[in-house]
Amino acid sequence: MEPVRSLKSGNFQVGNGELVMIAGPCVIEDAALTLEIAQALKEYAAELSLPLIFKASYDKANRTALASFRGPGLEKGLAILARVKEEVGLPVLSDVHRISEVAPAAKILDVLQIPAFLCRQTDLVVAAAATGKPVNIKKGQFLAPWDMAPVVEKTRSTGNTQIFLTERGTSFGYNNLVVDMRSLAILRGLGCPVVLDATHSVQLPGSQGSCSGGQREFVPLLARAAVAAGVDGVFLEVHPNPDQARCDGPNSLPLKDVLPLWRTLKALHTLIQERLSP
């Protein structure tokens, strides 16, 4: 088991006893809504002194149906994320799906994210790591946690050690995911900080035929369990009105519920850190 290498970039840190929040809408719907959500999340994080990375996808390239909304695309989406950085003052994270996206995305993003379905795409992983930017790699739903060891090795082959891993559930039969909490410790044993994606973990992939369903009522439970298990961060997709969200609404947390949940998570993290300290 390797010692966990924390990473620090700009105004955020992942690991080393910190509990970082990664949150935002699944996809950029428009500039006004994105900035509204970012500002609200910033205020919540400031109230609780929690580090925050804002997440929103400029393109959701793996939607269930061809006609599903994917977002504004690379150029327009990155311009909106640049506004979040400049006007709201938050570091930003988004998915990269193709090697051609990596260079322009790295000019704006503070963290490049490798989506779960693409975590074994060697050239994409290496290209993202070669930028020198922090890289968040989501564990594929089809992988055991120890199968991420070669993915970490690919990333580190570039000399980039600013890596963290995100658990987002494992395929369990048809249209279902489960989170094995042992996975969090196993992934951390690879020497990387570990985050739980508490919202994608309650997704029911493809369960509505042309789109995925979800059980958002279990998001707080999984988030609390993950913090108790010692994760370095919690990932949440949030929306002011999830039932009207254009992507992943069934597994998104209502924006109004974020602050109470974060307050609980911070208190739990503080208690765990105190109990585990020598």
Q: Could you read off the pLDDT of 216-232 as tens digits, one per residue?
A: 899 999 999 999 999 99
Tell me which of 1-15, 70-84, 91-105, 216-230 is least confident: 1-15
Cβ–Cβ under 8 Å, residues 126 and 154: yes
How much is the average pLDDT of 63-69?
80
Q: Which of 257, 198, 243, 239 is nearest to 27 (CA)?
A: 239
Q: What pLDDT band is residue 260 in, cutting at 50, 70 and 90? A: very high
Q: What pLDDT band is residue 210 in, cutting at 50, 70 and 90? A: low
Given a cut of 70, is residue 45 above it in pLDDT? yes
Helix and strand numbers, DSSP H then E, in the chain: 8, 15
Q: What pLDDT band is residue 51 in, cutting at 50, 70 and 90? A: very high
Query: Does 17 or 11 have the greater pLDDT score?
Result: 17
Given a cut of 70, is residue 273 above it in pLDDT? yes
Question: What is the three-class DSSP state of 19?
Answer: coil
Query: pLDDT tens for residues 167-197?
Result: 999 999 898 999 999 999 999 999 999 999 9
How much is the average pLDDT of 15-26?
94
Domains identified in the chain and CATH numbers: 16-273 (3.20.20.70)
Q: Please report, rounded to a whole number, the percentage of residues in the chain having pLDDT higher than 70.
A: 97
Calculate the dihedral angle through the C-alpha atoms of 143, 144, 147, 152, rounding to the nearest 10 degrees: 80
Q: What pLDDT band is residue 209 in, cutting at 50, 70 and 90? A: low
Given a cut of 80, is residue 76 above it in pLDDT? yes
Which pLDDT score is estimated for 3?
Answer: 78
Which pLDDT score is estimated for 69?
Answer: 84
Given a cut of 70, is residue 207 above it in pLDDT? no
Tell me which of 61-65, 84-88, 105-109 is least confident: 61-65
Query: pLDDT tens for residues 130-173?
Result: 999 999 999 999 999 999 999 999 999 999 999 999 999 999 98
Which pLDDT score is estimated for 13?
Answer: 85
Given a cut of 70, is residue 208 above it in pLDDT? no
Element (H, E) at 151: helix 149-156
- Gap between the Cα atoms of 169 and 142, Å rounded: 9
How much is the average pLDDT of 125-131?
98
Calculate the dihedral angle through the C-alpha atoms of 46, 48, 49, 51, rounding to the nearest 10 degrees: -80
